[in-house]
Structure 1
Amino acid sequence: MSTQNKLPPIEAAQQFINKHFPDSQGALLAGSVVRGEATETSDLDIIIFEKNIRTSYRESLIDIGWAIEVFVHNLASYKLFFESDRKRAKPSLPRMISEGIVLQDHGIIDSIKKEAQELLENGPEKWSVETIKTKRYFITDALDDFIGCSNRAEELFIANTLAELVSEFYLRTNNQWIGTSKWLVRSLRHYDEAFAEKIIEAFDDYYKSGEKSQVIQLVDSILLPFGGRLFDGFSLGKSGNNT
C-alpha cells in the first residue's frame, strides 16, 4: 500500500480509535511504526481494551488510508494471552503492549504496561531436561536428512527447518524469547549478535554454494554442550505402554 497521502501513523491510529472505539478503556499503537522500522507494506497494530466484550478477537481491515490490525481484549483475556505467550516463548502481546504508544487511557494502561515489562524481563518458561532431549533428537533427525540428501529442492526445505530448529534450541536453552519468521532473527540478534551473524553466514553460504560443512559444524557445536547428536536410545511415549 502506497504511503502517499497517508496520515502519520499516530494521527491515523487516533482517528481510528475515535471513530470505532471511542468508549474503550484504553488503546495503544504498537508494531514497526512505533519502533521506527516501518516499510512500504507496514500496517498499524492497535491494541484495544474494551470492557463490554466477552472474548478477545483480532480483526484486519483498511481504514483511513492504512492497513490496520486490531487486537481487542478485556481486562481478563489479555492475561490469558500473556500466559500463553510465556509458555510458548513468543511474547507477541506483551511486547506490543510494552512498546506501545498510548492513544487512549482511562486509568488502566500503566499497570498493564508494567505487567508486560515484568513478563518480558523474567523470560519464558524454561525447557525441561526431557524437552531438551526431545529437541536434540529432532535436530539430529533433520541434520541427518540434510547431510544425506542429494536432491537440491528437498535440501532447501530441510535447511529451512534445520535453521529454525537450531535457532530455537540455542535461544531456549539460554532461557531467551524466540519468534516466528523475522522475529526469530531479531531474537538471535538481540541476545547474541555474534552468534546471529555466525548462523546467518553458515546458512547463507549453503544457500549460495551448496556447501554444507559450515552448517553441520554449527549444529554440532550447538548440540555438544547438551550431549551432541541423539538417536540411539531415544524413546518417546514408551513408558506409558509398559505392563
Structure 2
Amino acid sequence: MNEKLEGKEAAMKFVNKNFPECHAALLSGSVVRGEDTETSDLDIVVFDEKLLSSYRESLYEFGWPIEVFAHNFTSYKEFYKSDVKRARPSLPRMVAEGIIIKEDVRMKALKQEAVEILEKGPPPWTEKDIRAKRYFLTDTLDDFIGCEDRAEGMFISQTLAELTAEFVLRTNNQWVGSSKWWARALRQFDKEFAERLFKTLDCYYRNDEKEQVVNVVEGVLRPYGGRLFDGFSMGKEGWRS
C-alpha cells in the first residue's frame, strides 16, 4: 500500500501524473471542508477541453481512494442541468467549494456559475408535485403504521425518513441529497427539526416505538392538507366518445 500523503499534496501529484495536460483541476469534498475521516476519499474535478465527453473513474493512489470527475469545458453544463433538475447539486457543489490545484483563466467563471446555481436553489415544486408527494408519503406512513414485521419495518422507516426529508426540503426550495447528505441538508436548513426527526427514528430503532415518528410525519404534511389517499390519481385520462 502506498504511503498516505497529505490530501492536497496527493491530489496535485495525482493530477500531474494522470492528467498532465489537463487545463484545470479542483480538489473538493470532505478533505476541503475539514470533515475527512479514515475512510474519506479525494474528489478531484478535472477540466480538459480535449476530452470528447465527461466521465467518472475511481482509483487508488498515494494512499488515497480517489474519485475523478472529468469534463471538458462544455460537457459539464449537462451535469449542472441534470443536478438542478433532480435538486441534487453534486457537481456545482464540488466546483463551488473546491480548491484549485491547477489554474486556468476559465476557472473563475466556472466557480461563479456554480455558486450562483447553489444560491438560486432548485426549481420549486408545483402544486401537482406536492400533491403526488403527499400521496406517496401517506402511503409509506400507512405501511409503517401497519407493519408488524420488524425487518420490514426497518426498511420502511428508511424510505419514510428520506421521503419526509425530501418533503421538508423541497417545499422550502432547498437542495436535497442522498445517503449522508439527507442529514446534512436537513441540519443546514432546520437543525431543530432535523434533530427531532433523528431522535424519533432512533427511538423506533431502539424501542420499536412508532408514535413519535408518526407524529412528526403528520406534522410535516399538515400545512399542505395532511394525508392524501382518497381521490388521488396519476395519468388518468377522460373517456373518449
Q: TM tier, shorter chain?
A: over 0.9
Aligned length: 240
* 1:153-189 per-position Cα deviation (integer Å, ceiling 9, x unaligned): 1111111110010110000000000000100100000
Structure 1 match to 2:59 = 61
Q: 2:239 aligns with which of 228, 238, 242?
A: 242
Spell out the pairing of 1:151-190 with structure 2 (5 A cutoff): 151-190=149-188
Structure 1 match to 2:39 = 41
Structure 1 match to 2:203 = 205
Q: Which runs of 5+ in 1 are unaligned?
A: none
Cα offset for 1:20?
Answer: 1.3
Structure 1 match to 2:111 = 113
Partner Cα distance (2:86, 2:44) in 1: 22
Partner Cα distance (1:156, 1:43) in 2: 29
Q: Is the 8 A contact 2:3 2:62 kept in 1?
A: no
Partner Cα distance (1:242, 1:216) in 2: 39
Q: Specify the SS of the correspondent of 1:69.
A: strand
Q: Which runs of 5+ in 2 are unaligned?
A: none
Letter matched to residue 141 of structure 1:
D
Partner Cα distance (2:10, 2:51) in 1: 24
Q: Is the 8 A contact 1:33 1:44 kept in 2?
A: yes
Letter matched to residue 67 of structure 1:
P
Spell out the pairing of 1:71-110 with structure 2 (5 A cutoff): 71-110=69-108
* 1:80-99 per-position Cα deviation (integer Å, ceiling 9, x unaligned): 11111111010100001111
Partner Cα distance (2:89, 2:201) in 1: 26
Q: Specify the SS of the correspondent of 2:235.
A: coil
1:229 counterpart = 2:227? yes
**Runs of 4 or more consecutive aligned structure 1 residues displaced over 6 Å after TM superposition:** none
Structure 2 match to 1:70 = 68
Q: Is the 8 A contact 1:28 1:100 kept in 2?
A: yes
What is the RMSD of the two structures over their aligned residues, measured on CA atoms?
1.2
Task: Normalising by structure 2, report the TM-score.
Answer: 0.97
Q: Specify the SS of the correspondent of 1:205.
A: helix
Cα offset for 1:55?
Answer: 0.8
Partner Cα distance (1:134, 1:141) in 2: 11
Partner Cα distance (1:192, 1:219) in 2: 15
